[in-house]
Structure 1
């Protein structure tokens, strides 16, 4: 097994970096077991990493870093130990270091498709699942909703196959010599979105879909037209997924905000497509991926910030696309990775049943205008709204509730972006928003009781955390700051009230 002792790892936007004691590149389950045993023997921490797509420091460890990139294959699924009645043709076992891009290609070869995904596909599947990555679709779960079983290596190098209590594996048929079968709801729904704190995941069994086709429609509207359609949910009728991007600035002529609405509609595979239907809008499909477009925008953001409201208006109107029809993953992939890998954000989930989500959006508009007028600080990208079905995973932001996610991206060199994101987080927390684990969430630091308020099943998750991570091997600075290992919080911590 290859490892390096003088290797500095950085996340994609190079905001966080670390030089660990050892940087491992395992190629087998046995390698992972060996790494964990060695780390425990030396009193060091071990942390699995993927593509580094998370914008927070959730992946960092100065002990051992375990890069999963070489564990990226589709495994042979042992169907003989699965219960009768399982949709065997739609189950696939994959190693956890596989990228979503490679997974989509492998599924394509099998005439299968992913259920949902975020806008880009460079993430590893394990990193996406462990941090609660989602797509959009009010009737669709996040990526973790596909998982039926997982193999995880925990304290002492113990290897477990973890499933719900009524899991897909038949215990009477299962007889693996080194992997113990654990069918327990608390352990499974804790391990799903584990934040890397419970162990290192070797593989997943996913339930995927038969290949399906989607039509994507992008249209521009005024915010005052779309807002009531979100409120009464008519915007979602007849669609598989909806995403809304909004210019947070009012332009003088319109006296309103432009928003681009992207709808995904399930369609039959067409016998033939026009050139326009077979290709995406030129701006969103090609120009946004070339460096010159990015650097032109960056120049204006840095040196001509007053032009930002108009730039955002132009960008949204330029994405208009009457129809793009393709296989599922081709449509779900939104592209513009060159820009997205040079941007970062905070993102908050809002319980749709509480009806505070639109008030939070409107309040953010006011804050954006105030910062522009008083501090000459500008939001340098459109705001994004996506909608996700409730989940059973204990530490996902949509646990037990259908949610709207609000995304607040910035290009990395935007003046004052860190300060703006701090203000955004304070505001969105006050409306009951729950921050995304993989995005900027520094306002949770020093406020661990917030996490306990946001996640009703935190104590159940923590119990599994303390069992699987008994020696603190999988903890890091991120989990330390949130006091995940503290059953009772110190009395010096003030218990915050979340108010609107």
Structure 2
């Protein structure tokens, strides 16, 4: 009898949310099938729900826990890893979006400026539009904006510039549906909420109790918890007043930026980047890993070097003129051609691997621009080229390691090229301020992120990534991006070796995943799944 009731509750809870198919979902033989945009993760969950309110999240978590089932919340499907998936109860958030009421009277500082409360499933793109309309902005962003805010926070997604942390650093407070469907509000020890003024209930539904936890360790563990410590309902974010950016992109060389007085050397050594000029707020590199013969006008004699596109950006809180076009005339057309005719490009490179280097050089040269100005989020977004069907991984290095790591990458692509296995896109290098989140890739150290991208249809693309993962993770003290990863970590020893606070995170993970309700493929792979859920599912047989 109890088993039938449990099954009924779970089914009614999921049906109440609506079986709606969005984005990465399609209908399989037995129900909805989730496939990420990379095609690397495909699952047909037992139950799929599209919740629109916290009441539904609570009901689903309670029913799943009673039935011994796992619950995961996916995002926009932009992670190639298994971080967001389960074969049991899978939630998708396109209805869990938009701004929420924020009761400033409950804050320590009721006049705290530039803050907003938003639902966890809202995309960065929609948030950018909303924030622009109310005169606010994220302090920094990556090059793509279709991720959900929860997906970006949970995986420590980032922009570039050592004065700025990953997106999780903007989180002031978060509300999470936890064990038993309890709603928790998690903040630092001296969080923004005044505990003496805290109502103890959800602003949009005073019938739902909320327990306030103000504790640094819990907050640091929960922010970047790879979706395994509860289902996030909302965030309060610390933003900035709206600002504009002037962007400069110049073509240079690896030997230039790594010389004793070069840009990258100065950055690594903590010296001014533009002596006598204005220091950039944001900066990043794109590198062609294949050497190119440099023309005499740049050097006293011809020699091989690696071309580099150096991007520098300066922010302005005063409006700047908005440019209609970025980079040289026709660059957007070239991007559109690359996306529309990707199979043709892949076929040409497979037939003539030697053209890979010139293809990358063309990509760098068409982005050169002395000045491009726009509202901040439009500059951060790199545009249509994001639509290309690629595989990608991103690796976090200590700042001191980025030059030797990049030069090791030169050696690796040269070796692979002898086997006709080539790279088709520039290597992107971005820089991120240290994070206090236990398992953020930037935890405890200034970080250089290396992103490796390759077209999906190229010969030997699997070998390309396997070789890079093996070399970069064994020869350097590096960490894989939780979202941009091809499931490299296997077992718990691997993350423990590179995250000094792993065991602190693990203790809190066990506490906030007490019955294994928030296990998933990623926790199985890491060998940390709490066993109760699996055991309960085997014993109860409540859902077939």
TM-score normalised to the size of structure 2? 0.84
Partner of 1:232: 266
Q: Call closer, same or farther: CA 1:165–1:20 in 2, change over 3 Å.
A: same
Where 1:33 maps in the other structure, the secondary structure is helix
Q: Tell me how far 1:283 sits from its aligned partner.
A: 5.0
Q: 1:246 and 2:287 equivalent?
A: yes
Partner of 1:22: 47
Q: 1:63 and 2:88 equivalent?
A: yes
Q: Tell me how far 1:299 sits from its aligned partner.
A: 3.4
Match of 2:508 among 448, 464, 468: 464
Per-residue Cα deviation, 1:215-248 (whole angstroms, up to 9, x for no partner): 0111101111112321221574411111100110
Answer whether contact 2:76 2:146 (CA < 8 A) is retained: yes
Match of 1:256 among 305, 313, 333: 305
Distance 1:139 1:426 in 2: 31
Greater displacement, 232-241 / 395-404: 232-241
Larger Rg: 2
Match of 2:325 among 256, 279, 289: 279
Q: 1:442 and 2:487 equivalent?
A: yes
Partner of 1:425: 469
Q: Call closer, same or farther: CA 1:270–1:33 in 2, change over 3 Å.
A: closer
Give the RMSD, CA atoms, in angstroms. Answer: 1.9
Answer whether contact 2:343 2:457 (CA < 8 A) is retained: no
Q: Which runs of 5+ in 1 are unaligned?
A: 488-500
Distance 1:325 1:343 in 2: 29
Greater displacement, 229-238 / 202-211: 229-238
Distance 1:445 1:416 in 2: 23
TM-score normalised to the size of structure 1? 0.92
Residues 30-179 of structure 1: pairs in structure 2 closer than 5 A = 30-84=55-109, 88-177=112-201, 178-179=209-210
Per-residue Cα deviation, 1:226-285 (whole angstroms, up to 9, x for no partner): 123212215744111111001100124551111111111123535646xxx442124554
Per-residue Cα deviation, 1:443-497 (whole angstroms, up to 9, x for no partner): 3124x2121121111111111110110111111121112123589xxxxxxxxxx
Distance 1:272 1:118 in 2: 22
Q: Tell me how far 1:297 sits from its aligned partner.
A: 2.9
Q: Which runs of 5+ in 2 are unaligned?
A: 1-15, 20-29, 202-208, 295-302, 532-544
Distance 1:256 1:63 in 2: 52
Greater displacement, 288-297 / 11-20: 288-297
Partner of 2:539: none
Partner of 2:346: 298
Per-residue Cα deviation, 1:307-350 (whole angstroms, up to 9, x for no partner): 1111111111111111111111111111135534x112121111
Distance 1:22 1:302 in 2: 41
Residues 359-438 of structure 1: pairs in structure 2 closer than 5 A = 359-373=404-418, 375-429=419-473, 430-438=475-483
Distance 2:336 2:147 in 1: 17
Partner of 1:493: none
Partner of 1:491: none
User: How many residues align structurally?
Assistant: 478
Residues 176-255 of structure 1: pairs in structure 2 closer than 5 A = 176-177=200-201, 178-228=209-259, 229-233=263-267, 236-237=273-274, 238-253=279-294, 254-255=303-304
Q: Call closer, same or farther: CA 1:160–1:133 in 2, change over 3 Å.
A: same
